[in-house]
Each structure stands twice: as C-alpha cells, then as structure tokens.
Amino acid sequence: MTIQVVATHPFPDQKPGTSGLRKKVTVFQTPHYLENFIQSTFDILESCQGQTLVVGGDGRYFNRQAIQVILKMAAANGFARVKVGQNGILSTPATSCIIRKYRTIGGIILSASHNPAGPGGDFGVKFNTSNGGPAPEKVTKAIFERTQAIGNYKILSAADVDLGTLGETNLGTMVVEVIDSVNDYAQLLETLFDFDRIQQFIASGSFKFIFDAMHAVTGPYGRRIFEERLGAPAGTVQAGFPLEDFGGGHPDPNLVYAHDLVAQLFSETGPDFGAASDGDGDRNMILGRNFFVTPSDSLAILAANATLVPGYRHGLAGIARSMPTSQAADRVAQQLRIPTFETPTGWKFFGNLLDAGQATVCGEESFGTGSNHVREKDGLWAVLFWLNILAVRQESVAAIVTQHWQTYGRNYYSRHDYEGVASDRAAELMAQLKAKLPTLKGKALGSGVVSYADDFSYKDPVDHSVSENQGLRIGFEDGSRMVFRLSGTGTEGATLRLYLERYEPDRHKQDLDAQVALQDLIGLAESVAQIKHFTGREQPTVIT
Ligand code: VG1
Ligand code: CO
C-alpha cells in the first residue's frame, strides 16, 4: 500500500452553503472534485496526525463510493483511526453524538439532507468540528479558501474496506473501525427521556403512532428505538429501510413531500400521533390526528413542557431560534424568565450558544429542533420529546397545542417557497426589495405601520463574529413580520423563501387556517416585492 500524491487544480465552486457543500451527484463524480474538498478540509485542521475522525452518511447514491475515497485519504493524511457507521450509515445527530462521546477531531457527514438523491440527484459533504457541530463560518471560509489554492491531494492505493462487518481493520497504518450506526446515539437518548413511561403508554393500547422514515437514514434508528426498545408494533416505522434514491421521493418532512403520512393522520380512523424525518435524520415533522404542528409552535411547546422530561427537569438556560422562526418560543422564554437568542438560518449559529451554556433548546422553522445533548438538530429527539410529553399529559396533540395558544397567544405562521426560480431574477427581486427597505420605516403598509425594515445581521454574543445579509425583514408595529431569503442549500436555480408571521392573543380568533389568517400579509408581500413578476410564478411551490 503506497501513498499517492495526486496533482489537481482548484474548482471555483466549492463554497459551502447553509449546511455543507451540495452539488449534483454528477458534479461530485467529476475526477478530483470530492478529493479536492476532502483534502482542503484536512489541510485546515491543525494536524491530522494520530487523530480520530468519524465518517458516515445518509445512505444516498454515491455514499459508499465517497466513503471509500475518504477512508483512503484519511489514511494517507496520517489519521490514526476512523469510526465509520456500518454500511456507511450515520445520521447527522448520531455523528454529532459520536464526535462528542469519543472526543474526536471532527466528522464528515455525506448528505444533501432533504434534497432528492440518485444518479441524477444531489450529494453533499458536511464537516463537523470537535464540538460535534457544523463547521462555523470561519472554518467553512478557510476550507473554501484552501479549495481555491489546492495543488495536490494524498490518497492511499489500497483495496476497498468491508463496511458491512462490525469491527476493526487496518488501512495502511490507520485503523478503520466499523461501528453500529445506532448504539451510541440510542444510549444518549435513553439518558434524556423516560423510556419506561413511553413504553407503558404505547403498551396501554390507547395510543397509536406512526413514524415515516421516508426511505432515508432514520429507518434503522426508528426501528431500533420505537419498535425494539419501546415496544411499538412492527410497522410503526414506515419506509424504514434506507434506499439509495429514497424511493424516488423528496426526503423533506413537510405537508407536501410527506403526503403518505399526512393522509394517514388526516383521516378519522388515523393514529393519534405521526412524525417524519428527513434524509439525514436531523429534521422532524409532528402531526396529531387531523392536526399539523408548525415547527415554530413545536419549539415553543417543547420548551414550555420541558420539565416533564427527565433530561430537562431542572429547566432551560435559554432558548435560541433562527431569525425567520416564529416568536412563539420567545413568549415561553419570557414567562420562564430565561433569555432568547435570534440567530441567522443554519444550525452552525447555535453552536457557540450551546457550548457556552447560554441556550439549552434551539429550533428553526424548517422542521429543526434540538438541544445541548448534541450540536445538531435532531429529528428522533424531537419525536421522543413529544412522545414523553404525551405519555405524561395523556392529552391529544391538538389539545396540547390549543391550550398552549390560549396561554401564550398564537403566532400564526407560514413559509412560502418558490423553488427552481431563475437565479438572476431571484437576485433582482432581492436587490430591488433591499433598495426599497430604507424608505419603508414608519410608513403605513396595508393596515399596518412598518416599525423596522432591514437586512438582518448577527453578532455572535460569544465570539463576537458578525454575519451579514441574512435575510430581508419587514416588521410591523403589531409584531407581524415578513422575511425574504434565498436558500443556501439548493443545487439548481434559486429558491425564494417568504416567511410570514402574525400574533393573535384573542383565544376566540385562534382557530383560523394560517393561510386565511395571514392573507393580508401575503398580499402585502406580493405588492412590496413583486414576487409574481420576478419569479414568473402565480403560486408558491411549497406552502408549510
Ligand atoms: C434550509 C433551512 C435551514 C436549515 C438548512 C439545513 O436552509 O432553511 O433552516 O438549517 O436548510 O437543513 P436554506 O438555506 O435552504 O433555507 V438540513 O436538514 O438540509 O441539514
Ligand atoms: Co437534514
């Protein structure tokens, strides 16, 4: 086995987005493309010598091939050990857990998360640092700069490693340790939740639930935890075996893409509770019978009920949410007299707050919720949190949510996505809106008065780093808001996201459909940003 030093040239487009580097599979299959990015990542580490790395992915097409390349490059770069999930499978939160538990230098997660997979689909590479969290901006910036200067990479010429069998093998001087994909993670969750109580609740027969793994990474996790450990009947986990193309679906747990699950919950004979996760297992969607819980409400409800769950019985230090996420959680924090933090979109911005002990739970409107148990959002964690609350309160999901609204008021909320818009048109929309913002403050817009209109920028309270251009916001005196952002995770054209929020304290006006309740704001967003004109679309692609 010899170490090859392969000459290469920079690719101009290796800048990580909201969550890692995402490209079409065909781009990653371009000779040297994957290798360049991996070598650049290794190069910015202080030293690879003698270090341990965690590697795994969501099981999508090209996962297995990419892992073999990474193992051989890790061996050539001096790593002592790589912990790799069996058959290359590790969910994003499980990877975070393993990095932290074994104090490794970091980990590489192969996933494009909720983006579709297969030979014509997407692939992605995320690097997580030694705290278990997504690389912060200063690290992704350093990686990108390195990709622009790279001249060669190192790789061991060796046969592929068998990833199907648990245990250790040698690759040059490096040890490849194939680990059970679920064990460490399941053990961690067991320390947080009252598994016995949930088990009894399920065994009582009065409560039925289903979990849709969407043929993505959470299948093995869901089967082990829900069916084997908690005794839920076989079949509770649906689409529970990872497929390289996710069964042709879009592994994004929302009302549009998780239609099979939604159809089951929205039927009179349906289960009491339903949940789904995404490609790499960090997202969650929560449903009750005939009831959809918005991710923003879910965050607020988990926070309000946290002391019912053993891992959080002493309360929370603080709550952090991404800027476009609704302010429902802020109202809970206010009542609990704990701080809230408003960060830019992307889990990497929660890392410092979690490390510093300033926030205990975090959430994003994009179906992401998590806590300080790892440094990623965590789909199964959120499902177990709900199961624990339901087992203690013995009420329906709908009852818990409506009671929450009665106590705190309801933050009507919706996100409208316009996917696959021409990039230049989307950029024009944002530019013209940004130019207009300074003129809006203090003006009447529709029936409201604008109290602020700006481009969100964030100063991290821990390391004081500043992140600019994080979304255009227009806020009204009554607390209503609309936010415009372009997605940083797509691989084709641009996706415009419009986030809408309006607060309703009156309990007699809290049962409207969100689209109806937000009608005025939707109209205002169109008039101020000319969405139809710039996108050429009459309707959003996805409404959640
Ligand atoms: C989206 C979401 C964001 C999330 C990110 C990664 O980013 O809006 O909240 O953190 O995806 O999630 P964007 O830039 O497309 O809006 V995942 O599940 O892809 O790791
Ligand atoms: Co994800």
Q: What is the pLDDT of residue 66?
A: 98
Cβ atoms of 54 and 108 within 8 Å: the answer is yes
Residue nearest atom 19 in ligand 1 by C-alpha distance = 113
Cα-to-centroid distance, 58 and ligand 2 (Å): 9
Q: What is the pLDDT of residue 19?
A: 87
Cα-to-centroid distance, 470 and ligand 2 (Å): 20
Q: Which atom of ligand 1 is nearest to the CA of 115?
A: 19
> DSSP string spanning 107-138?
EEEE--TTS--STTSEEEEEEE-TTSSBPPHH
Ligand 1 site, CB within 6 A: 18-19, 113-114, 278, 282-283, 322, 345-347, 364, 366, 368, 487-489, 497
Q: Give CA separation, 23 vs 57, 89, 168, 189, in Å.
A: 15, 20, 32, 32
For residues 185, 187, 188, 191, the Cα torsion angle rounded to the nearest 10 degrees is: 160
Cα-to-centroid distance, 391 and ligand 1 (Å): 31
Q: Which atom of ligand 1 is nearest to the CA of 278?
A: 18
For residues 191, 197, 198, 204, the Cα torsion angle rounded to the nearest 10 degrees is: 160
Q: Where are the alpha helices (DSSP H) in 160-267?
A: 183-192, 195-203, 218-222, 259-265
Residue nearest atom 20 in ligand 1 by C-alpha distance = 113
Structure tokens, 3: 């170490």
Q: What is the pLDDT of residue 489?
A: 85
- Averaged over successive runs of 10 residues, the pLDDT of the chain (544 residues) comes to 94 93 97 98 94 97 97 98 97 98 98 93 96 94 97 97 97 97 98 98 95 96 98 96 92 91 93 97 97 97 98 98 98 98 96 97 98 98 98 97 97 96 96 95 90 96 94 94 93 93 95 95 95 94 92
Pocket test for ligand 1, best of 60, 278, 342, 345 (most atoms within 8 A of CB): 345
Q: What is the pLDDT of residue 1?
A: 75
Pocket test for ligand 1, best of 15, 18, 127 (most atoms within 8 A of CB): 18
Rounded-to-integer distance, Cα 512 and Cα 499, Å: 18
Q: What is the pLDDT of residue 447?
A: 83
Q: What is the pLDDT of residues 303-338, one digit of tens each?
A: 999 999 999 999 999 999 999 999 999 999 999 999
Q: What is the pLDDT of residues 362-380, one digit of tens each?
A: 999 999 999 999 999 999 9
Rounded-to-integer distance, Cα 430 and Cα 436, Å: 10
- Closest ligand to C-alpha of residue 124 is 1
β-sheet bridge partners, residue 57: 89, 110
Cα-to-centroid distance, 23 and ligand 1 (Å): 15
Cα-to-centroid distance, 379 and ligand 2 (Å): 9
Cβ atoms of 114 and 204 within 8 Å: the answer is no
The model scores a pTM over 0.85: yes
**Which is it for strands 167-171 and 152-157: parallel, antiparallel or unpaired?**
unpaired
Residue whose pair of structure tokens reads 């409800």 in the numeric block: 301
Of 19, 111, 113, 298, which residue is the catalytic one? 113
Residue nearest atom 17 in ligand 1 by C-alpha distance = 113
Cα-to-centroid distance, 216 and ligand 1 (Å): 17
- Closest ligand to C-alpha of residue 214 is 2
DSSP tag of 229? I
Residue nearest atom 6 in ligand 1 by C-alpha distance = 19
Q: Which atom of ligand 1 is nearest to the CA of 114?
A: 19
Q: Which atom of ligand 1 is nearest to the CA of 283?
A: 18
Cα-to-centroid distance, 364 and ligand 2 (Å): 12
Q: Which atom of ligand 1 is nearest to the CA of 488?
A: 14
Rounded-to-integer distance, Cα 42 and Cα 33, Å: 15
Q: Is 113 a catalytic residue?
A: yes
Q: What is the pLDDT of residue 89?
A: 97
Cβ atoms of 461 and 341 within 8 Å: the answer is yes
The HSE-up count of residue 153 (CA atoms within 13 Å, CB side) is 28
Q: What is the pLDDT of residue 130?
A: 96
Q: Comparing C-alpha atoms, which of 467, 468, 364 is closest to residue 114?
A: 364
Q: What is the pLDDT of residue 88?
A: 96
Residue nearest atom 3 in ligand 1 by C-alpha distance = 346
Q: Which atom of ligand 1 is nearest to the CA of 485?
A: 16
